[in-house]
Each structure stands twice: as C-alpha cells, then as structure tokens.
Amino acid sequence: MNQAEQVHKAPLNLMDSRPKTPLFRFDRYRDIDLFIKFEGANPSLCLKTRSAVNILRKMHARNELSSEKTVIDASSGSFGGALAWAAGIYGYKCTIVGSEKTVPEASALITSLGAEIIKVGSVTRHGYEYIVDLIAANPEQWAYTDQLNNPDNAGAYLDLGRENHEQLPNVVAVVASAGTGGSLCGVARHFKSEKPDTLI
C-alpha cells in the first residue's frame, strides 16, 4: 500500500463520521440558556484536533507532505498534542517546538504520541523564529503547518459552526476564548453567512 492509500484509509476519516461533540446546558442568565460545547470529546482530547486534521489533509492534497519530511510547528500545548496525534495517524514524523514554559502535562502528551518536543525561549514566538531558521537551513526536511498564519486553521472550524447551529438552531450569541483565534473565526464565518444576526 503506497503513502496516498495509507492516508486515504487512515482513521482520520473517523473525524467525518464521528458523533458531534456534546453540548451541555450549564446555566441560565436573564432568561437566556447558556450552553457549553465539550471539545474534549475529540480524538486528541481538545478543540485543536479539528485544525490539525484539516491542515494535514490540505497539505496532503497539495503534495506538501512526504515520508522524508517531518511535520513541524510551534505550540504552547494543545495544538502540539493535536498535531502529534494527527501526524502519528497519518504516519508522519512530528516535531513540536515549545517554550521553556510548556507545562509537563503538555510535553508528556506530545512525546507519548510519538512526537519530539524541542523547548526554545520563553514564548511561542521564539519557537516560530527557531523554525524559520531550521527551514532556511534545510527546507527539504520540514513540512511546516504554521497554524498562526495558515487559513486552513480557521477553515477547520466551519464544521464546528455548523455543528453548533444544528445542535442549537435558535442560538443568539457565540462566546469563545481566543488563542490563535482560528476557532472563533471559523465559527463566526458560519454564523455570519447562515444567521447574520448572531452575536460573536
């Protein structure tokens, strides 16, 4: 079986047919029901599973991945774990560049999924600078997912917007914390196209 066939048959396809992550009503405020989406039910235990899978699928479609290349990105934790999981499912080597502040639990998750973690500097930006230098020195070695600048990051969360809308057709507002901002952008795009009066 060649690499393309392996990717086609990979368990990543389960992302397409898995049950929607659950939505729980957790409070009521001024006659408004408040719900929370449990993205910890995703395969890599977090929201960023959606982004990592989508980015790698799109890179595969553009022939930007190969068994000779190592998938790489900088992450403070959750995306690193998700990318390590997705790369492992695809069968690619993976390196995550974290900072000295990366918590032990995040490092343990990344390495337990078969990826290497390199700690550089005190913030994620230092990791990005380090990756730019690595790629400049040996561009054929790396497949850079570049989550902060990759439109396939936000694109991954259109499905999350659709899921939320299907589960709560009468939603009036979406509230989210923003890390890279990709999840909020993708969800907002869905609601602004399908239900423009939704507050974000």
Calculate the CA 72 to chain-centre distance. Answer: 13
The pLDDT, as a whole number, for residue 23 is: 86
| 161 band by pLDDT with thresholds 50, 70 and 90 | very high
Residue 4 has pLDDT above 50, yes or no: no
Residue 1 has pLDDT above 50, yes or no: no
> Phi and psi of 51, rounded to 5°?
-70, -50
> Range with the lowest mean pLDDT among 67-76, 106-115, 170-179?
170-179
| 113 band by pLDDT with thresholds 50, 70 and 90 | very high
Structure tokens at 106: 């995040």
Give the number of other CB atoms < 10 A from CB of residue 186: 22
The pLDDT, as a whole number, for residue 17 is: 61
The pLDDT, as a whole number, for residue 10 is: 53
Q: Say what percent of the chain tops pLDDT 90.
A: 62
Residue 11 has pLDDT above 60, yes or no: no
- Which of 11-15, 135-139, 166-170 has the highest mean predicted lDDT (pLDDT)? 135-139
Scanning the structure block, which residue is given the tokens 């999981």?
Answer: 85
The pLDDT, as a whole number, for residue 43 is: 79
| 118 band by pLDDT with thresholds 50, 70 and 90 | very high
Task: Report the C-alpha gap between 191 and 150 in whole angstroms.
Answer: 21
Structure tokens at 163: 């899921």
- Report the DSSP beta bridge partners of residue 119: 98
H or E element: which one contains 137? helix 124-137
The pTM for the full model equals 0.85
**Mean pLDDT of all residues belonging to the chain:** 88
Q: Could you read off the pLDDT of 168-188 as tens digits, one per residue?
A: 999 999 998 866 678 888 999
Q: Which residues of 137-165 are buried (b: 16+ CB within 10 A; e: fewer)?
A: eeeeebbbbbbbebebbbbbbbbbbbbbb
